[in-house]
Amino acid sequence: MLENKYVFWAITGAIGALCSAVAYFVKRNQDKMEKRMAAQEQRTREVEEKLNKTISDMPYLYTLREDFIRSTANHDRKLDQIISLLAKGGNANG
């Protein structure tokens, strides 16, 4: 095959160096990907925590439509009672 042992060792060394370089770059790329995934998981956890906090705070910060309608109806009923009392009192005095 190859008569000169130096040529054989040079080719073998070059192939070994090439394989090592490829393995190095693959490993480096894998490490970067793992770091990005860890950072993404951390950001996802933070967003989930903020969302859970917002959801748990909603009953204290916002009024449901049904509650608002019920409260407004109660106020209207009380105002109607006051107006009817004033109307009855105004007719009796007038």
pLDDT in tens, 37-93: 999 999 999 999 999 999 999 888 888 888 889 999 999 999 999 999 998 886 545
Checking if the pLDDT of 30 tops 80, the result is yes
Residue 94 clears pLDDT 50, i.e. is over it: no
Confidence tier at 2 by pLDDT (50, 70, 90): low
Q: Enumerate the domain spans of the chain.
A: 65-94
Three-state secondary structure string covering the chain: CCCCHHHHHHHHHHHHHHHHHHHHHHHHHHHHHHHHHHHHHHHHHHHHHHHHHHHHHHHHHCCCHHHHHHHHHHHHHHHHHHHHHHHHHHHHHC
Residue 35 has pLDDT above 70, yes or no: yes
| Residue 91, pLDDT score | 57
